[in-house]
């Protein structure tokens, strides 16, 4: 089944404890992206990747890191989480970046709480 998977789905952690949220897609998509969703603010892009080893900042990259060493994986790293990073996180992928039909497929979401 074609899908985007994220792990964990739920995470409660404490300030300053490094964490990684994994994202994987099995559709051989070139483009992958991370968003956070907060009430009243909609979806905001954190980082995106056009292809392996190509990443770029979105609208709210502060406090986050990403890597794209393989086409299928795009982990989101919080080196020192803070309470303002409590949010619902979505990973998404698309066959190609911005050429043609670039429908984005979303993962199930990760609800992160930082105490």
Using CB under 8 A, list all residues that contact another protein. 4, 31, 33, 35, 40-45, 48, 50, 56, 58-59, 90, 94, 97-98, 101-109
Residue 17 or 58: the one with the smaller Cβ distance to another protein is 58
List Cα–Cα distances, 41 to 37, 62, 84, in angstroms.
7, 17, 14
Q: How far is the CB of 92 from another protein (least distance, A)?
A: 8
The pair of structure tokens assigned to 48 is: 């995106």
The pair of structure tokens assigned to 23 is: 């994202």
Q: How far is the CB of 40 from another protein (least distance, A)?
A: 6
Tell me 85's DSSP state: G
Q: How far is the CB of 73 from another protein (least distance, A)?
A: 17
Residue 18 or 96: the one with the smaller Cβ distance to another protein is 96
Q: Quick one: which H or E segment has residue 47?
A: strand 42-51
């Amino acid at each position: 089944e074609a899908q985007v998977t994220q792990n964990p789905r739920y995470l409660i952690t404490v300030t300053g404890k490094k964490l990684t949220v994994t994202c994987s897609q099995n559709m051989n998509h070139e483009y992958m992206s991370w968003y956070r969703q907060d009430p009243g603010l909609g979806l905001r892009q954190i980082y995106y990747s056009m292809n392996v080893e190509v990443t770029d900042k979105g609208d709210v990259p502060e406090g986050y890191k990403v890597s794209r060493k393989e086409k299928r994986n795009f982990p989101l790293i919080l080196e020192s989480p803070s309470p303002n990073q409590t949010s619902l996180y979505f990973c998404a992928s698309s066959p190609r970046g911005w050429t043609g039909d670039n429908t984005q497929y979303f993962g199930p979401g990760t609800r992160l709480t930082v105490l």
